[in-house]
Structure formats: structure tokens, C-alpha cells
Amino acid sequence: MNKYQEAIAASKVITDDEAVRNEVNKILEKSSENMTPEVYKFLFNSIDLTTLSSEDSVKSVARFTERVNDFDNDYPQYGHVAAICVYSNFAEVVSTHLDVDGVDTAVVAAGFPSSQTFDAVKIADVALAVEAGANEVDIVMNLGMFLDGDYENLTDEIHELKHAARDAKLKVILETGALKTADNIKKASVLAMYSGADFIKTSTGKIYSGASVEAAWVMCQCIKDYAERTGRKVGFKAAGGIRSTQEAVAYYTIVKEVLGEEWLTPELFRIGASSLANALLSSLEEKEVKYF
């Protein structure tokens, strides 16, 4: 075996799809215990508040950012979201308009959402976004390379993008809806972490089906196994189609039961969403709120 296959083989995470479903069902029986205001507030503080529309513009992204500034004054009891996530060309717009301490500027970059463009373009995109103020960068794992078994070029590309990101957090999107099986999700998780990912993320929410609790369970098990073997903690981000409080609490429960309380911090747990913030605010306020 080569070093990539050895890294995958070293992980003892189960990959039988039926067994994964059974484990997830057991955990989700505890989900109702976490339907509390304290958990809702934590989940709100863990959101990467996202706008990724073809209609985005300098003006619309500036307004989106100002809304986060306003929220800090209008609802100070709830704190703030973890980050504002936009296309890479809007990094400067967010970073120059954002006034709230503790909210990061996140971007999707490097050929998002397909990862299909020249390597030089991907590297330049990441580097320019960071120079413009991004301190978090979400990239997509090259699925073509993964499915071809071209792990060397796959990991080399992630390494190069990690280097281009400098001190910014690098979140690697696995696109679990395309990977489909627990075995593929395990392999992709291991390779991403092996390549220096600071977070592994479920989905883009753009092409394939979004996050699933089964994919989250496999990814969190891989993160746990990797941390035990290396001592390095990698974060987990769920994204793609998470709109309700109940759905968000399900992912919280997976992380809590698999990775433990130490991962229940925005430094290691995120949810990428556009409409979830309003759902959580509505749960906290016990009435419908449409703030964002």
C-alpha cells in the first residue's frame, strides 16, 4: 500500500451503511434532550451566515453584512453568528463593512462548487481572497481525482491551497451527496485531514444533495479517530439544506455524542446556512422572526 492507502487503512471507523444508520438512529433518540434555548443560542453562534447567489453584488453583500452589525445592537442577548460566508470576490466588501468583533469573513473559493478549473486559478483565488480580508476559506475536494483514486494529486492540491490560505482556516468540502457511501465518505475525510484541512464540511448545497446525519456521523467518527492518533483537532461543518431548528439540533446531537463537549465550540463546529438563523431566532423568541 502507498502512504495514502495506509492512512485510510489506519482508520477503524465502520463503513457498513446499514450499521451507520443504526448508530445514527440510536443517537438521534437523544436529540429531544437538546431542544433547549441554550442549545439554540449555541447553534446560532455557530452559523456561517451565507449568501451565495448569482444576484449577489457589492451593494447586496454590504447590506447583508450591515444586517449582522445591526443584529449585534438589536439582539445583544444572543451574541452573533460565527462568520459571514460569501463568494471570494466579496471578501473585501465583508471585511470592510463588518464591525462586530468575533465574526469571521469566510469565502468559498478555488472553483467552487465543482472544483473544476486550473490549479493556478484556484491558488490565486484563495490567495487573493485572504489578501482581501478572508480569514476562513471553504474549498471543494476534487471529486474527479478522488473517484479516479488519484490521491497523490488530490492531496497535493489541498496542501497547496492550504499554503495559499496562510493563517486562514481551510474548510474542505467533501460533497457527501456525490460520495454516497460511508466508505467513500471515510476515505475522503481521512485524505482531507491528512492534507491539512482545519475543518471538513459535508456539502456545497449547490449540485448534489446536502448534508445528512449519516454522513455527519461518519465524518465525526473520522475526526475522533484522527485526533486520537495525531493529537490534532479538526472541526466539523454541516451545510446544505439545513433550515429548521430540529435539523440543526440533530447535527448538534451527533457532534455531542461522537466527539464530546470539547467540540461544542464555534472553533470546531459550524453550520453553513442562509435561512437557519431566522428559524433559531424564532425558536428563541417563541414567535416568527425574519431578521436576515
Q: Please report, in angstroms and rounded to a whole number, the separation of the first and last CA atoms in the chain.
A: 50
**Cβ atoms within 10 Å of 151's Cβ, excluding its own:** 21
Q: Determine whether 138 is an active site residue.
A: yes
Out of 104, 138, 198, 225, which one is annotated catalytic? Answer: 138
Which residues on neighbouring strands pair with residue 262, listed in sequence order? none
Q: Determine whether 150 is an active site residue.
A: no
What would the grid cell of residue 87 be? 463568494
Q: Determine whether 237 is an active site residue.
A: yes
Out of 122, 186, 187, 201, which one is annotated catalytic? Answer: 201
Out of 122, 169, 186, 237, which one is annotated catalytic? Answer: 237
Catalytic residues: 138, 201, 237
